[in-house]
Structure 1
Amino acid sequence: MSDKYSGLEAALRSARMTFVSEANAGDRTGTEIIACEDLLPAWTKAGPKGDGSHEVGEACTHDGQSWRCCQAHNTNNNPDIEPGKSPAQWAPYHTTDPTKAKAFIQPTGAHDAYMKGECCLWTDGKVYRSIMETANAYSPAAYPQGWEEVTAAGDPGTTPEPGTEPEPETPTEPGTEQEPGQDPETGGEETGETVPAFVQPTGAHDAYQTGDRVTYNGQIYESTIDNNVWSPDTYPQGWEVVEVEDGGAA
Protein backbone atom coordinates (compact mmCIF):
# COMPACT_ATOMS: atom_id res chain seq x y z
CA MET A 1 0.00 0.00 0.00
CA SER A 2 1.36 3.44 -0.91
CA ASP A 3 2.22 6.07 1.68
CA LYS A 4 -0.57 8.19 0.18
CA TYR A 5 -3.31 5.71 1.10
CA SER A 6 -1.68 4.86 4.41
CA GLY A 7 -1.80 8.54 5.32
CA LEU A 8 -5.44 8.84 4.26
CA GLU A 9 -6.47 5.82 6.31
CA ALA A 10 -4.64 7.21 9.31
CA ALA A 11 -6.46 10.52 8.93
CA LEU A 12 -9.83 8.76 8.70
CA ARG A 13 -9.08 6.65 11.77
CA SER A 14 -8.07 9.78 13.64
CA ALA A 15 -11.26 11.59 12.62
CA ARG A 16 -13.38 8.63 13.67
CA MET A 17 -11.65 8.34 17.04
CA THR A 18 -12.04 12.07 17.67
CA PHE A 19 -15.74 12.01 16.79
CA VAL A 20 -16.46 8.97 18.97
CA SER A 21 -14.52 10.50 21.85
CA GLU A 22 -16.49 13.75 21.57
CA ALA A 23 -19.77 11.84 21.35
CA ASN A 24 -18.92 9.78 24.44
CA ALA A 25 -18.02 12.95 26.33
CA GLY A 26 -21.34 14.58 25.43
CA ASP A 27 -19.68 17.24 23.28
CA ARG A 28 -21.77 16.42 20.20
CA THR A 29 -25.48 17.08 19.75
CA GLY A 30 -27.91 14.40 18.71
CA THR A 31 -28.28 16.16 15.36
CA GLU A 32 -24.53 16.02 14.76
CA ILE A 33 -24.27 12.41 15.88
CA ILE A 34 -27.09 11.16 13.66
CA ALA A 35 -25.66 13.08 10.70
CA CYS A 36 -22.36 11.22 11.13
CA GLU A 37 -23.60 8.01 12.72
CA ASP A 38 -21.58 5.92 10.27
CA LEU A 39 -18.55 6.93 12.33
CA LEU A 40 -19.96 5.33 15.48
CA PRO A 41 -19.10 1.76 16.43
CA ALA A 42 -21.82 -0.86 16.36
CA TRP A 43 -23.08 -2.01 19.75
CA THR A 44 -21.75 -5.31 21.03
CA LYS A 45 -22.48 -7.20 24.25
CA ALA A 46 -18.77 -7.19 25.01
CA GLY A 47 -18.62 -3.39 24.87
CA PRO A 48 -15.66 -1.17 23.94
CA LYS A 49 -13.35 -2.81 26.50
CA GLY A 50 -14.39 -6.36 25.68
CA ASP A 51 -15.35 -7.15 29.28
CA GLY A 52 -19.10 -6.55 28.98
CA SER A 53 -18.93 -3.12 30.60
CA HIS A 54 -20.79 -0.13 29.17
CA GLU A 55 -20.17 3.30 30.69
CA VAL A 56 -22.48 6.31 30.81
CA GLY A 57 -22.10 8.35 27.62
CA GLU A 58 -21.04 5.47 25.38
CA ALA A 59 -22.32 6.16 21.86
CA CYS A 60 -23.05 3.40 19.36
CA THR A 61 -25.42 2.25 16.64
CA HIS A 62 -27.83 -0.67 16.79
CA ASP A 63 -30.75 -1.70 14.57
CA GLY A 64 -30.64 1.47 12.48
CA GLN A 65 -30.59 3.85 15.44
CA SER A 66 -27.91 5.81 17.29
CA TRP A 67 -27.83 5.27 21.06
CA ARG A 68 -26.17 6.61 24.18
CA CYS A 69 -25.67 4.73 27.40
CA CYS A 70 -27.46 6.52 30.25
CA GLN A 71 -26.82 3.98 33.00
CA ALA A 72 -23.62 2.02 33.51
CA HIS A 73 -24.02 -1.74 33.36
CA ASN A 74 -22.27 -4.98 32.51
CA THR A 75 -23.84 -7.44 30.11
CA ASN A 76 -21.98 -10.34 31.71
CA ASN A 77 -24.22 -9.83 34.73
CA ASN A 78 -27.22 -8.55 32.76
CA PRO A 79 -27.19 -10.36 29.40
CA ASP A 80 -30.65 -9.13 28.37
CA ILE A 81 -29.72 -5.43 28.36
CA GLU A 82 -29.66 -4.15 24.79
CA PRO A 83 -30.32 -0.82 23.03
CA GLY A 84 -33.96 -0.65 21.98
CA LYS A 85 -35.02 -3.13 24.65
CA SER A 86 -33.65 -1.51 27.79
CA PRO A 87 -34.76 2.15 28.00
CA ALA A 88 -33.32 2.62 31.48
CA GLN A 89 -29.81 1.87 30.19
CA TRP A 90 -29.97 3.12 26.59
CA ALA A 91 -31.60 6.22 25.11
CA PRO A 92 -31.88 7.08 21.42
CA TYR A 93 -30.36 10.21 19.98
CA HIS A 94 -32.80 12.63 18.35
CA THR A 95 -32.21 15.07 15.50
CA THR A 96 -33.60 18.45 14.54
CA ASP A 97 -32.99 17.64 10.86
CA PRO A 98 -36.24 16.28 9.37
CA THR A 99 -34.35 14.62 6.52
CA LYS A 100 -32.50 12.46 9.08
CA ALA A 101 -35.48 11.74 11.35
CA LYS A 102 -35.55 8.33 13.00
CA ALA A 103 -38.60 6.20 13.77
CA PHE A 104 -40.45 7.35 16.87
CA ILE A 105 -39.39 5.52 20.03
CA GLN A 106 -41.72 5.87 23.00
CA PRO A 107 -39.95 7.84 25.73
CA THR A 108 -40.03 6.48 29.26
CA GLY A 109 -38.82 9.61 31.05
CA ALA A 110 -37.06 12.95 30.71
CA HIS A 111 -33.79 11.27 29.72
CA ASP A 112 -35.18 9.97 26.42
CA ALA A 113 -37.99 12.45 25.70
CA TYR A 114 -38.09 14.62 22.59
CA MET A 115 -37.07 18.25 23.08
CA LYS A 116 -38.50 21.21 21.18
CA GLY A 117 -37.39 21.10 17.54
CA GLU A 118 -36.47 17.41 17.51
CA CYS A 119 -38.04 15.26 14.81
CA CYS A 120 -39.37 11.74 14.49
CA LEU A 121 -40.74 9.48 11.78
CA TRP A 122 -44.25 8.37 12.71
CA THR A 123 -46.14 5.25 11.63
CA ASP A 124 -48.11 7.19 9.00
CA GLY A 125 -44.89 7.69 7.05
CA LYS A 126 -44.68 11.39 7.90
CA VAL A 127 -42.06 13.35 9.79
CA TYR A 128 -43.14 15.36 12.83
CA ARG A 129 -41.32 18.01 14.86
CA SER A 130 -41.88 18.49 18.59
CA ILE A 131 -43.24 21.97 19.37
CA MET A 132 -43.58 21.57 23.13
CA GLU A 133 -41.56 23.94 25.30
CA THR A 134 -40.95 21.12 27.76
CA ALA A 135 -39.79 17.53 27.28
CA ASN A 136 -42.24 15.70 25.00
CA ALA A 137 -42.93 12.12 26.03
CA TYR A 138 -46.01 11.74 23.81
CA SER A 139 -46.37 10.33 20.31
CA PRO A 140 -47.86 12.41 17.48
CA ALA A 141 -51.03 10.34 17.80
CA ALA A 142 -51.32 10.49 21.59
CA TYR A 143 -50.86 14.27 21.79
CA PRO A 144 -51.10 15.93 18.35
CA GLN A 145 -50.86 19.39 19.92
CA GLY A 146 -47.27 18.61 20.84
CA TRP A 147 -46.17 18.04 17.25
CA GLU A 148 -46.27 19.66 13.83
CA GLU A 149 -46.00 17.82 10.54
CA VAL A 150 -42.83 18.67 8.67
CA THR A 151 -42.97 16.64 5.46
CA ALA A 152 -43.70 13.22 4.06
CA ALA A 153 -40.94 10.80 4.97
CA GLY A 154 -38.26 10.41 2.34
CA ASP A 155 -39.76 13.26 0.38
CA PRO A 156 -38.18 16.42 1.79
CA GLY A 157 -38.43 19.45 -0.42
CA THR A 158 -39.88 17.54 -3.34
CA THR A 159 -40.54 19.67 -6.40
CA PRO A 160 -43.37 18.90 -8.80
CA GLU A 161 -42.52 17.07 -11.99
CA PRO A 162 -42.67 19.08 -15.20
CA GLY A 163 -46.26 19.53 -16.29
CA THR A 164 -47.68 18.77 -12.84
CA GLU A 165 -47.50 22.25 -11.36
CA PRO A 166 -50.79 23.33 -9.78
CA GLU A 167 -53.02 25.52 -11.90
CA PRO A 168 -53.06 29.18 -10.85
CA GLU A 169 -56.23 30.32 -9.14
CA THR A 170 -58.68 32.24 -11.26
CA PRO A 171 -58.64 35.90 -10.19
CA THR A 172 -61.78 37.17 -8.51
CA GLU A 173 -63.66 39.63 -10.68
CA PRO A 174 -64.05 43.14 -9.29
CA GLY A 175 -67.21 43.50 -7.26
CA THR A 176 -67.57 39.77 -6.59
CA GLU A 177 -65.39 39.52 -3.48
CA GLN A 178 -67.01 37.43 -0.78
CA GLU A 179 -67.97 39.33 2.34
CA PRO A 180 -66.94 37.92 5.72
CA GLY A 181 -69.62 35.56 7.03
CA GLN A 182 -71.12 34.89 3.58
CA ASP A 183 -71.88 31.40 2.37
CA PRO A 184 -69.17 30.61 -0.23
CA GLU A 185 -71.73 28.87 -2.46
CA THR A 186 -74.68 31.27 -2.32
CA GLY A 187 -73.16 34.53 -1.16
CA GLY A 188 -75.79 34.68 1.57
CA GLU A 189 -75.32 34.68 5.30
CA GLU A 190 -73.37 31.74 6.62
CA THR A 191 -75.59 29.12 8.24
CA GLY A 192 -74.87 26.24 10.54
CA GLU A 193 -74.96 23.85 7.57
CA THR A 194 -71.96 25.50 5.90
CA VAL A 195 -69.77 25.54 9.00
CA PRO A 196 -67.38 22.55 8.94
CA ALA A 197 -67.16 20.12 11.81
CA PHE A 198 -64.24 20.53 14.19
CA VAL A 199 -61.20 18.51 13.11
CA GLN A 200 -58.38 18.07 15.62
CA PRO A 201 -55.35 20.03 14.36
CA THR A 202 -52.03 18.21 14.32
CA GLY A 203 -49.82 21.31 14.46
CA ALA A 204 -49.43 24.98 13.61
CA HIS A 205 -49.95 24.31 9.91
CA ASP A 206 -53.62 23.32 10.35
CA ALA A 207 -54.49 25.17 13.56
CA TYR A 208 -57.58 27.38 13.74
CA GLN A 209 -57.11 31.14 13.59
CA THR A 210 -59.14 33.94 15.17
CA GLY A 211 -62.58 34.05 13.57
CA ASP A 212 -62.57 30.49 12.24
CA ARG A 213 -65.86 28.70 12.89
CA VAL A 214 -66.57 25.04 13.55
CA THR A 215 -69.49 22.88 14.60
CA TYR A 216 -68.90 20.92 17.78
CA ASN A 217 -71.37 18.93 19.88
CA GLY A 218 -74.37 20.54 18.20
CA GLN A 219 -73.14 24.13 18.51
CA ILE A 220 -71.19 26.54 16.35
CA TYR A 221 -68.01 27.93 17.87
CA GLU A 222 -65.73 30.74 16.75
CA SER A 223 -62.03 30.73 17.63
CA THR A 224 -60.97 33.72 19.71
CA ILE A 225 -57.24 33.07 19.43
CA ASP A 226 -54.70 32.38 16.69
CA ASN A 227 -52.91 29.03 16.33
CA ASN A 228 -55.74 27.28 18.18
CA VAL A 229 -55.09 23.54 18.34
CA TRP A 230 -57.57 22.77 21.12
CA SER A 231 -61.19 21.65 20.97
CA PRO A 232 -63.88 23.82 22.59
CA ASP A 233 -64.13 21.53 25.61
CA THR A 234 -60.36 21.09 26.01
CA TYR A 235 -59.70 24.86 26.07
CA PRO A 236 -63.02 26.77 26.37
CA GLN A 237 -61.16 30.08 26.69
CA GLY A 238 -60.12 29.77 23.05
CA TRP A 239 -63.68 29.57 21.72
CA GLU A 240 -67.02 31.33 21.99
CA VAL A 241 -70.42 29.93 21.09
CA VAL A 242 -71.93 31.66 18.07
CA GLU A 243 -75.16 29.74 17.64
CA VAL A 244 -76.62 26.28 17.96
CA GLU A 245 -76.45 24.13 14.87
CA ASP A 246 -80.15 24.48 14.01
CA GLY A 247 -79.66 28.21 13.44
CA GLY A 248 -80.86 29.55 16.79
CA ALA A 249 -78.82 32.22 18.57
CA ALA A 250 -76.59 31.17 21.45
Structure 2
Amino acid sequence: MQINVISTPDGYVENYAIVGSTGGSIVTATISDSQIDYFVTHHAAYRLENGALVLDEDKLAAEQAAAEQAALTARYIPSEAQSAAAVGQMVLAQMANLDDDARIRVSGLYGPWSAGQFEVGDIRNSGGQTWACFQAHDNATYPDIKPGSAAWFTFWRPLHGKSPETARPFAPVQGAHDMYKIGEYAVFEDALYKCVQDTAYSPADYPQAWEKLN
Protein backbone atom coordinates (compact mmCIF):
# COMPACT_ATOMS: atom_id res chain seq x y z
CA MET A 1 0.00 0.00 0.00
CA GLN A 2 1.00 3.62 -0.43
CA ILE A 3 1.59 6.11 2.42
CA ASN A 4 2.28 9.82 2.27
CA VAL A 5 5.36 10.62 4.37
CA ILE A 6 7.58 13.51 5.36
CA SER A 7 11.16 12.45 5.91
CA THR A 8 14.08 13.88 7.84
CA PRO A 9 17.20 15.00 5.91
CA ASP A 10 18.74 11.56 6.48
CA GLY A 11 15.68 9.79 5.09
CA TYR A 12 13.84 8.64 8.22
CA VAL A 13 10.08 9.08 8.61
CA GLU A 14 9.21 12.25 10.52
CA ASN A 15 5.45 12.24 9.89
CA TYR A 16 3.03 10.23 7.81
CA ALA A 17 -0.57 9.93 6.70
CA ILE A 18 -2.15 6.70 5.61
CA VAL A 19 -5.14 8.63 4.30
CA GLY A 20 -4.95 12.30 3.31
CA SER A 21 -2.05 14.72 3.50
CA THR A 22 0.57 15.37 6.19
CA GLY A 23 1.24 18.87 4.85
CA GLY A 24 4.72 20.07 3.97
CA SER A 25 7.02 18.29 1.57
CA ILE A 26 5.32 14.96 0.88
CA VAL A 27 6.71 11.80 -0.64
CA THR A 28 4.56 8.82 -1.54
CA ALA A 29 6.14 5.57 -0.41
CA THR A 30 5.08 1.94 -0.44
CA ILE A 31 4.89 -0.64 2.34
CA SER A 32 3.32 -4.10 2.47
CA ASP A 33 -0.11 -4.48 4.04
CA SER A 34 1.27 -6.95 6.59
CA GLN A 35 3.75 -4.37 7.90
CA ILE A 36 1.40 -1.43 8.30
CA ASP A 37 0.49 -2.01 11.96
CA TYR A 38 4.15 -2.37 12.94
CA PHE A 39 4.99 0.74 10.92
CA VAL A 40 2.40 2.84 12.78
CA THR A 41 3.96 1.89 16.13
CA HIS A 42 7.61 2.23 15.09
CA HIS A 43 7.47 4.62 12.13
CA ALA A 44 10.47 6.71 13.30
CA ALA A 45 12.72 3.69 12.71
CA TYR A 46 11.71 3.41 9.04
CA ARG A 47 13.56 5.14 6.24
CA LEU A 48 12.92 5.69 2.57
CA GLU A 49 14.89 3.53 0.18
CA ASN A 50 14.02 3.74 -3.52
CA GLY A 51 10.44 4.71 -2.79
CA ALA A 52 9.87 1.97 -0.24
CA LEU A 53 9.71 2.13 3.57
CA VAL A 54 12.38 -0.11 5.11
CA LEU A 55 12.80 -0.84 8.82
CA ASP A 56 16.21 0.07 10.26
CA GLU A 57 16.71 -2.69 12.83
CA ASP A 58 19.65 -0.96 14.53
CA LYS A 59 17.77 2.28 15.02
CA LEU A 60 14.73 0.42 16.30
CA ALA A 61 16.85 -1.47 18.84
CA ALA A 62 18.48 1.78 19.99
CA GLU A 63 15.11 3.47 20.39
CA GLN A 64 13.71 0.53 22.34
CA ALA A 65 16.76 0.47 24.62
CA ALA A 66 16.41 4.21 25.24
CA ALA A 67 12.71 3.78 26.00
CA GLU A 68 13.47 1.00 28.47
CA GLN A 69 16.09 3.15 30.19
CA ALA A 70 13.67 6.08 30.37
CA ALA A 71 10.97 3.85 31.85
CA LEU A 72 13.34 2.50 34.51
CA THR A 73 14.54 6.00 35.32
CA ALA A 74 10.98 7.28 35.65
CA ARG A 75 10.08 4.35 37.90
CA TYR A 76 13.05 4.27 40.23
CA ILE A 77 15.00 7.55 40.01
CA PRO A 78 13.41 10.63 41.60
CA SER A 79 13.34 13.81 39.57
CA GLU A 80 15.67 16.71 40.30
CA ALA A 81 12.79 18.57 41.95
CA GLN A 82 11.87 15.54 44.07
CA SER A 83 15.50 15.08 45.11
CA ALA A 84 15.81 18.75 46.01
CA ALA A 85 12.64 18.52 48.09
CA ALA A 86 14.02 15.47 49.90
CA VAL A 87 17.27 17.30 50.64
CA GLY A 88 15.24 20.21 51.96
CA GLN A 89 13.32 17.93 54.31
CA MET A 90 16.58 16.39 55.55
CA VAL A 91 17.99 19.83 56.22
CA LEU A 92 14.85 20.89 58.05
CA ALA A 93 14.98 17.76 60.20
CA GLN A 94 18.46 18.79 61.32
CA MET A 95 17.26 22.33 62.12
CA ALA A 96 14.48 21.55 64.56
CA ASN A 97 15.36 24.51 66.75
CA LEU A 98 14.71 27.19 64.14
CA ASP A 99 12.68 30.13 65.41
CA ASP A 100 9.62 31.46 63.57
CA ASP A 101 11.57 34.01 61.57
CA ALA A 102 14.07 31.43 60.33
CA ARG A 103 11.28 29.06 59.37
CA ILE A 104 9.64 31.79 57.31
CA ARG A 105 12.93 32.45 55.52
CA VAL A 106 13.08 28.81 54.40
CA SER A 107 9.31 28.36 54.08
CA GLY A 108 9.63 27.30 50.45
CA LEU A 109 11.03 24.01 51.74
CA TYR A 110 7.81 23.24 53.61
CA GLY A 111 4.94 21.66 51.71
CA PRO A 112 1.50 23.16 51.15
CA TRP A 113 -1.19 22.11 53.58
CA SER A 114 -3.32 19.15 52.60
CA ALA A 115 -5.53 16.99 54.75
CA GLY A 116 -3.62 14.45 56.83
CA GLN A 117 -2.36 13.49 60.25
CA PHE A 118 -0.33 16.17 62.05
CA GLU A 119 1.93 16.27 65.06
CA VAL A 120 2.91 19.25 67.20
CA GLY A 121 5.60 21.22 65.39
CA ASP A 122 4.61 20.26 61.85
CA ILE A 123 4.92 23.20 59.43
CA ARG A 124 2.79 23.84 56.35
CA ASN A 125 2.08 26.74 53.97
CA SER A 126 -1.39 28.03 53.16
CA GLY A 127 -2.81 31.36 52.00
CA GLY A 128 0.52 33.16 51.91
CA GLN A 129 1.23 32.20 55.52
CA THR A 130 3.45 29.60 57.11
CA TRP A 131 1.69 27.74 59.92
CA ALA A 132 2.85 25.60 62.84
CA CYS A 133 0.69 22.86 64.29
CA PHE A 134 0.46 23.29 68.06
CA GLN A 135 -2.14 20.61 68.78
CA ALA A 136 -1.95 17.17 67.17
CA HIS A 137 -4.92 16.05 65.08
CA ASP A 138 -6.00 13.81 62.23
CA ASN A 139 -8.20 15.11 59.43
CA ALA A 140 -9.65 11.64 58.98
CA THR A 141 -11.27 12.14 62.39
CA TYR A 142 -11.69 15.92 62.26
CA PRO A 143 -12.26 16.93 58.61
CA ASP A 144 -13.34 20.47 59.60
CA ILE A 145 -9.80 21.41 60.65
CA LYS A 146 -8.70 23.11 57.46
CA PRO A 147 -7.49 26.58 56.41
CA GLY A 148 -10.22 29.19 56.70
CA SER A 149 -12.41 27.20 59.08
CA ALA A 150 -13.24 28.27 62.63
CA ALA A 151 -11.49 25.17 63.96
CA TRP A 152 -8.25 25.92 62.12
CA PHE A 153 -6.91 28.43 64.64
CA THR A 154 -7.46 26.01 67.50
CA PHE A 155 -4.82 23.71 66.02
CA TRP A 156 -2.55 25.94 63.91
CA ARG A 157 -0.80 29.25 64.52
CA PRO A 158 0.77 31.59 61.94
CA LEU A 159 4.49 32.18 62.17
CA HIS A 160 5.48 35.83 62.74
CA GLY A 161 8.45 37.39 61.02
CA LYS A 162 11.01 39.57 62.77
CA SER A 163 12.07 41.69 59.82
CA PRO A 164 10.47 43.56 56.92
CA GLU A 165 11.53 40.73 54.60
CA THR A 166 9.72 38.09 56.65
CA ALA A 167 6.59 40.12 57.37
CA ARG A 168 3.40 38.25 56.50
CA PRO A 169 -0.23 39.36 56.33
CA PHE A 170 -1.71 40.10 59.75
CA ALA A 171 -3.63 37.09 61.07
CA PRO A 172 -6.39 37.56 63.66
CA VAL A 173 -5.10 36.57 67.09
CA GLN A 174 -6.92 33.74 68.85
CA GLY A 175 -5.03 33.53 72.13
CA ALA A 176 -1.73 33.81 73.96
CA HIS A 177 -0.15 31.25 71.62
CA ASP A 178 -0.32 33.53 68.56
CA MET A 179 -0.13 37.06 69.96
CA TYR A 180 2.15 39.49 68.20
CA LYS A 181 5.24 40.26 70.25
CA ILE A 182 7.51 43.30 70.35
CA GLY A 183 9.82 43.31 67.35
CA GLU A 184 7.60 41.23 65.08
CA TYR A 185 6.35 42.52 61.74
CA ALA A 186 3.10 42.23 59.83
CA VAL A 187 1.51 43.49 56.64
CA PHE A 188 -1.87 45.10 57.23
CA GLU A 189 -3.96 46.73 54.48
CA ASP A 190 -0.89 46.76 52.19
CA ALA A 191 1.22 48.63 54.74
CA LEU A 192 4.18 47.33 56.75
CA TYR A 193 3.95 47.50 60.54
CA LYS A 194 6.33 46.74 63.39
CA CYS A 195 4.89 45.58 66.71
CA VAL A 196 6.06 47.87 69.54
CA GLN A 197 4.15 46.21 72.37
CA ASP A 198 2.70 42.73 72.77
CA THR A 199 -0.81 42.74 71.38
CA ALA A 200 -3.72 40.61 70.29
CA TYR A 201 -5.14 43.40 68.10
CA SER A 202 -4.59 44.66 64.58
CA PRO A 203 -3.09 48.07 63.74
CA ALA A 204 -6.63 49.31 63.09
CA ASP A 205 -8.03 48.08 66.41
CA TYR A 206 -5.08 49.07 68.61
CA PRO A 207 -2.76 51.39 66.68
CA GLN A 208 -0.58 52.29 69.67
CA ALA A 209 0.83 48.74 69.61
CA TRP A 210 2.13 49.19 66.07
CA GLU A 211 4.56 51.42 64.21
CA LYS A 212 3.70 52.00 60.57
CA LEU A 213 6.83 51.82 58.42
CA ASN A 214 5.67 52.71 54.92
In the alignment, which residue of structure 2 is the partner of 1:37? Answer: 107
Unaligned runs of 5+ in 1: 47-52, 152-250
Q: Which residue of 1 aligns with 2:199?
A: 136
What are structure 2's unaligned runs of at least 5 residues? 1-69, 71-77
Q: Which has the higher helix share?
A: 2
Q: TM-score by structure 2 length?
A: 0.57
Partner of 2:129: 65
CA distance in 1, matches of 2:148, 2:113: 11
Provide the identity percentage: 32
Residue 180 of structure 2 is aligned to residue 114 of structure 1 = yes
- Label 1:39 to 1:61 Cα distance change in 2 as closer, same or farther (>3 A): same
Instruction: Quote the offset at 1:14 in angstroms.
Output: 5.2
Q: Name 2:163's counterpart in structure 1.
A: 97
How big is the shift at 1:10? 8.7
Shift of 1:42: 1.1
Greater strand percent: which structure? 2
Structure 1 match to 2:147? 83
AA partner of residue 36 (structure 1): V
**Alpha-carbon separation, structure 1, partners of 2:160 and 2:91:** 17
Q: Kindly tell me: are residues 67 and 147 of structure 1, through their superposed partners in 2, closer, same or farther at Cα, counting changes over 3 Å?
A: same
Cα displacement (A) at 1:11: 7.4
TM-score by length of 1: 0.49
Residues 1:127 and 2:199 aligned together: no
State the shift of 1:21 in Å.
Answer: 2.2
Whole-angstrom CA distance in 2 between matches of 1:10 and 1:67: 22
**What is the alpha-carbon distance in structure 2 between the residues aligned to residue 19 and residue 36 of structure 1?**
10
Matches within 5 A, 1:82-231: 82-85=146-149, 86-123=152-189, 125-132=190-197, 135-151=198-214
Give the whole-Å Cα distance in 2 for the aligned partners of 1:9 and 1:128: 36
Cα 1:101–1:145 change in 2 (3 A) is: same
User: 17, 37, 41: which one pairs with 2:89?
Assistant: 17
User: For the aligned residues, what is the CA RMSD?
Assistant: 2.5
The aligned counterpart of 1:181 is none
**Contact 1:82/1:90 (<8 A) preserved:** no
State the secondary structure of the residue aligned to 2:102: helix
CA distance in 1, matches of 2:208, 2:91: 36
Q: Report the Cα distance in structure 2 between the residues aligned to 1:80 and 1:66, rounded to whole angstroms.
A: 19
